[in-house]
Amino acid sequence: MAAGDYMAVRDAIKKIIPQSSYDDGSAGPVLVRLAWHASGTYDKKSGTGGSNGATMRYKLEASDEANNGLEYARKFLDPVRQQFPWISYADLWTLAGVVAIEYMGGPKVDWKPGRVDDVDEQYVPPNGRLPDATQGEDHIRSVFYRMGFNDQEIVALSGAHNLGRCHADRSGFEGPWVPMPTRFSNTYFKLLLRSEWHKRTNSVGVEQYNDEDNELMMLPTDMALVKDPKFRTWVEKYAEDKDLFYRDFAAGFGKLLELGVIRGPEGKALRQYARAKL
């Protein structure tokens, strides 16, 4: 297969998404989460973090509690990487997120190659940069403003919780947000507004919000999106207008994957470019 044939890589990623013995039969949601966590370490002020370098390959970042369970996503992608050894892990992880979103019925997200893996361990971002689900609106804002996002983008990106589920042995939370967690939609926003959510202590002693039947769940950070008036305005818009949500989600996710990726003259990204701009 010719180096640079990203269409072939996309096809190979699509083939590993159905996983009959995993979760809801799909690797899609955990692949989206890998792309997000690989990128969401970005710090605008210092230019550190972000998807370039695939620094989650290093133990320090892989062992950040927030990244528990992402080893599944990385393992699902091993055969793809074996088939296309020329693609950087940084490109593969971000592309897999984009392919998974589209595969599950979500919008097309712009994606550009060029991320590189040959990044020294000293550039691994410190642990603790990803959001903590037990917190509220101030914490959410400080984490996402650090990356350069505004309130509207925060709510749009949070719509990724239409996908997948929480696992007690990974985060301490348990359950899916929506009844069809492998189908991209704006149901999460509708449920946030329409259902009654009850604070419950789950089977491993962690507080979360559940619906009447204990089938669906919300995190404390999800609830902050309807409590905070500025966030709530956007939750209402996205609950009403699916096309608007898809458009804004695609823009936000595309921006997320580009954070800290500064390409040199030949399109190759270098961590050093980001640092030189400090």
Displacement of CA 80 from its chain's centroid (Å): 20
Residue placing its CB nearer to ligand DDH in the complex, 8 or 226:
226
Q: Nearest approach, Cβ of 242 to ligand DDH (angstroms)?
A: 17
Q: Which stretch binds ligand DDH (CB under 6 A): 28-36, 57-65, 88-96, 105-113?
A: 28-36
65-76 b/e with 16+ CB inside 10 Å = b? ebbeebebbbeb
Hey, which residues between 148 and 177 contact ligand DDH (CB under 6 A)? Answer: 157-158, 160-161, 163-167, 170-171, 173
Q: Nearest approach, Cβ of 183 to ligand DDH (angstroms)?
A: 12
Q: Nearest approach, Cβ of 133 to ligand DDH (angstroms)?
A: 4
Plot region of 50 (φ>0 → left; ψ -120 to 50 → alpha; else → beta): left
Count the Cβ atoms, other than its own, within 10 Å of residue 31.
31
Instruction: Work out whether 217 is an interface residue with ligand DDH (CB under 6 A).
Output: no
Instruction: Work out whether 254 is an interface residue with ligand DDH (CB under 6 A).
Output: no
Site string for ligand DDH, 116-135 (x = CB under 6 A): ---------------x-x--
Instruction: Work out whether 260 is an interface residue with ligand DDH (CB under 6 A).
Output: no
What stretch of H or E contains 58? none
At which residue do the structure tokens 């695609």 appear? 250
Determine the Cα–Cα distance for residues 13 and 27; give it in Å rounded to an integer: 10
Instruction: Work out whether 57 is an interface residue with ligand DDH (CB under 6 A).
Output: no
Of the residues 37, 111, 197, 234, only one is catalytic, namely 37
Of the residues 36, 93, 111, 177, only one is catalytic, namely 177
Determine the Cα–Cα distance for residues 130 and 163; give it in Å rounded to an integer: 18
Annotation marks residue 139 as catalytic: no
Instruction: Work out whether 231 is an interface residue with ligand DDH (CB under 6 A).
Output: no
Annotation marks residue 36 as catalytic: no
Determine the Cα–Cα distance for residues 102 and 184; give it in Å rounded to an integer: 8
Q: Nearest approach, Cβ of 137 to ligand DDH (angstroms)?
A: 10
Per CB under 6 A, the list member of 14, 57, 69, 263 interacting with ligand DDH is 69
Q: Is 124 helix (H, G, I), strand (E, B) or coil?
A: coil
Residue placing its CB nearer to ligand DDH in the complex, 133 or 191:
133
DSSP structural state of residue 18: B
Q: How far is CA 103 from CA 9, 11, 24, 144, in A?
A: 14, 11, 15, 26
# residues near ligand DDH by CB under 6 A:
24
Task: Name, in order, each residue with C-beta under 8 angstroms of 168's C-beta and a sequence gap of 6 or more.
Answer: 174, 202, 203, 204, 206
Residue placing its CB nearer to ligand DDH in the complex, 131 or 148:
131
At which residue do the structure tokens 């055969």 appear? 79
Instruction: Work out whether 51 is an interface residue with ligand DDH (CB under 6 A).
Output: no
Positions touching ligand DDH (CB under 6 A) are 29-30, 32-33, 36, 69, 131, 133, 140, 157-158, 160-161, 163-167, 170-171, 173, 219, 221, 253
**Residues tagged active-site:** 37, 177
